[in-house]
Chain A
Amino acid sequence: MAAIAKKAIKISQKHLLGIQNLSISDVKYILSEAKQFISLNRSKNKKLNILRGKTQINLFFEPSTRTQSSFELAGKRLGADVMSINIINSAIKKGETLIDTAMTLNAMHPDIIVIRHQDSGACNLLSQKVNCAVLNAGDGRREHPTQALLDALTIINRKGKIEGLKIAICGDILHSRVARSNIYLLNMLGAELNIIAPTNLMPSNIEKFGVNTFSNMKNGLKNCDIVMMLRLQNERMTSSFLSSNREYYEYYGLTPDKLECAKEDALIMHPGPMNRGIEIDTNLADDINVSLIKEQVELGVAVRMACLKIFCE
């Protein structure tokens, strides 16, 4: 009984569908749990048995390298039985609906389902139909909560805090779930956010989410502590949003001279995969003095371990 009561205090949600649903104490709890896994992941023996006997299903409807492998590793390191379903060979290709797939998997008694889907809200629909916890690994252009959490952890790891920092998020905001989750999370944690994008790639009414918007990149970067670059999601663009990649790079690509507008000790982030030479200068991306990109991937595993542990309980 005591254990149940304790857990109820720690996390308010059954599922991790988005940052929108989390309270600040939920977020702090996840981040503090994740911190403990960082050193474990750097040690020689990376295996725990916290989730021994638990079943984790990864259901990825969209191609993914880092998120899928990160979730897979995270589950395995915690001792869970991890199964990744290959959509190309599955019944979904035969016309099975998401709900039917959910029912089928649910009958196998998983403890957690990790889902990525091209449609916004797919994880919400799934969560209504299964008994286990659902972790959102990205739904359409809505949310990608674990990415935002790992970004926050990376920033805290380097800057010691988030509150009071000025953070720029730049690029294809319209199609980006990473941007939305980060806006919710970083706002919640007390950062000031500058959103930079050409107006064609800026979502309607985004300023109502409590951010400053800029279509001029240099203005938006002024005094920023963190510059978060996003990928141009050409696969989601059904018609012409931009004239060309080279013009985009000229105005919105992160180059050393644009970075000079930010604070001297500003750091660069990117959720990957990167389009080098389109949204970011290739040398800048690899510059270990300013780029946190590799660290983001590393801490991603820790954050996902924390999420699996917390939501599996």
Chain B
Amino acid sequence: MKKKYFLNGNILDPHNSIEEMGGLIIGEDGKIEAIGKKVNKNNIPSREKFVDLKEKHVFPGIVDMRVFVGEPGFEYKENFKTLSNAALTGGVTSVVTMPNTSPVIDNVSIVDFLKRRGRDKAKINIFPTASLTKNLEGTNMTEFGLLQKKGIIGFTDGIKTIQNTRLMSRIMKSAHDLNCLIMQHAEDYELAENGMVNDGIISTKLGLQGISELAEKIIIERDLTLLDEFNCRYHISQLSSSKSVDLVEKRKNEVSFSCGVSINNLSLNENDIGDFRTFLKLSPPLRKEEDRLALVKGINRDLIDVIVSDHKPEDEEQKRLTFSQAATGASGIETLLPLALELFHNDSLKLNKIIKVLTSNPAKILKINKGNLTVGNDADFCIVDIYKPWIVKKETLISKSKNTSIEDKKLQGKVTNTFVKGEELFKI
């Protein structure tokens, strides 16, 4: 690989507290050789060509902690290749994949297959999770230790929640012994039974069964109580309500844990469901505007550590149904960063904060050396024109499934180039 030189970029790397105009040199090995304001025309041999970034932004490649890939079992929804291409379009260079596949990622033998497929078909970094319980049944634990040795990054039942308190306590004890990361989708099944939307004025108006915010709070409350006794690496996948944010604030100083939020819950509210838009049937559901604002505040106050896309590809057939029959989830890996930038443009969040919760924070939770632009590390980064206006059109999305939650939305900010290990894999 030839050396690459970039100049005149707006470099933002929260991990290394770099926020300055400068350049970037990528070595022949695809590693970052130099970065920042000290990189200027004088560092470049006069024969070499360089790229003038024209003050566009350079961010570390985004680390998306919650992504569903259809492989194995649902390749018609998304496979590693299409996921990878979609991710690159959005500046995402590392993804954590959920185990809700068919078969479920719950044993050592399937991990080899997964890693091989990921390596051969995807150009981005794939960090697979395995399920907490065998076949996602919520009864028997999987082999955390052996799976972790095979390269599993963390454990979660994905869209499912461990309901059994005794089992949850045992999971935490095991995770403590083996130093594993546990990720919980917080929803009490009994309280959320048959629920489709937030419980409130919209559920009443649309005549749909509501999901109370208590369904989320009660699981978080339970888990944090357990965590107090059985300390382990514990992460709440997605918060959705102000009640949950309040609870996290109350407990954050007493117990150590991390939490995330979906870009959907951060950018949309229940009113967006409008006239039964099934693409906005999500889990956790979109809630009130007050809840959305509380989540934004939660990020500002470091109560929420990461933003995820919760990319859940579903084919059209699963969405062209009545609201109660339609599948849950929206695709979103391509629009994660541009949609997050909306929060910068409307003065909700600082740019540095947005990039931090999309890059270095998730990497820290996952304990991976990604999401930074440290010299000597893989050159995973994206170049972004944060002011470029565009409109989300499902025809132009790369993901195999087009179930975007923000069709026709006007956004500002587009990734123009994405690099993985120094190689330019996406260019607008």
Contacts and interface: CB of A to CB of B under 8 A. Distances in A.
A121 B321 contact: no
Nearest to B207: A142
Interface string B99-112: 00000000000000
Contacts of B267: none
Most buried by A among B199, B275, B322, B323: B322
A80 B174 CA distance: 71
Interface in B22-39: none
A156 to B, nearest CB: 26
Interface string B283-325: 0000000000000000000000000000000000100111111
Nearest to A177: B207
Interface residues of A, number: 26
B276 A125 contact: yes
Nearest to A21: B275
B85 to A, nearest CB: 30
A212 B55 CA distance: 59
Contacts of A97: 317, 320-321
A120 B199 contact: no
Contact of A142 (B199, B206, B317): B206
B203 interface: yes
A98 B321 contact: yes
B178 interface: no
Interface in A90-104: 97-99
A206 B200 CA distance: 8
A122 interface: yes
A204 B322 contact: no
B322 A125 contact: yes
B321 A120 contact: no
B201 interface: yes
B404 to A, nearest CB: 19
Contact of A120 (B190, B193, B207, B320): B207
A177 B204 CA distance: 10
B210 interface: yes
Contact of B324 (A99, A140, A143, A205): A140
A120 B194 contact: no
Nearest to A209: B204
A122 B322 contact: yes
B208 interface: yes
A122 B321 CA distance: 8
A239 interface: yes
Contact of B206 (A98, A120, A205, A206): A120
Contacts of B190: 239
Given A99-B320, A122-B322, A238-B194, A204 B276 contact: no
Given A204-B200, A205-B200, A124 B276 contact: yes
Contacts of B203: 203-204
Nearest to A122: B322
Contacts of A122: 322
Contact of B193 (A125, A209, A239): A239
A139 interface: yes
B335 to A, nearest CB: 25
A130 B276 CA distance: 17
A117 B190 CA distance: 25
A76 interface: no
A203 to B, nearest CB: 4
A139 B201 contact: no
A204 B207 contact: no
Interface string A174-192: 0001001000000000000
Nearest to B193: A238
Interface in B171-215: 190, 193-194, 199-201, 203-208, 210
A286 interface: no
A74 B276 CA distance: 30
Contacts of A99: 320-321
Most buried by B among A117, A121, A205: A121
Nearest to A206: B204
A115 to B, nearest CB: 11
Contact of B323 (A121, A143, A203, A208): A121
Contacts of A139: 207
Contacts of A239: 190, 193
A120 B204 contact: no
B201 A121 contact: no
A119 interface: yes
A268 B207 CA distance: 26
A120 B208 contact: yes
B275 to A, nearest CB: 6
A204 B204 contact: yes
A120 B190 CA distance: 22
A98 B324 CA distance: 12
Contact of B204 (A119, A121, A125, A205): A205
A124 B200 contact: no
Interface string A290-302: 0000000000000
Interface string B105-132: 0000000000000000000000000000
Contacts of B206: 120-121, 142
B230 to A, nearest CB: 32
A208 B201 contact: yes
Interface in B311-368: 317, 320-325
Contact of A203 (B204, B317, B322): B204
Contacts of A124: 275-276
Interface of B: 190, 193-194, 199-201, 203-208, 210, 275-276, 317, 320-325
29 contacts: A97-B317, A97-B321, A98-B321, A119-B324, A120-B207, A120-B208, A120-B276, A120-B323, A120-B324, A121-B206, A121-B208, A121-B275, A121-B322, A122-B322, A125-B321, A139-B207, A140-B324, A141-B207, A142-B206, A142-B207, A177-B207, A180-B205, A204-B199, A204-B201, A204-B204, A208-B201, A238-B194, A239-B190, A239-B193
Interface of A: 20, 97-99, 117, 119-122, 124-125, 139-143, 177, 180, 203-206, 208-209, 238-239
Given A20-B205, A120-B208, A203-B204, 9 more contacts: A99-B320, A119-B323, A119-B325, A120-B207, A121-B206, A121-B323, A180-B207, A204-B200, A238-B194
Which 6 residue pairs spanning A and B have beta carbons closest together?
A: A142-B207, A120-B207, A119-B322, A121-B276, A141-B207, A203-B204
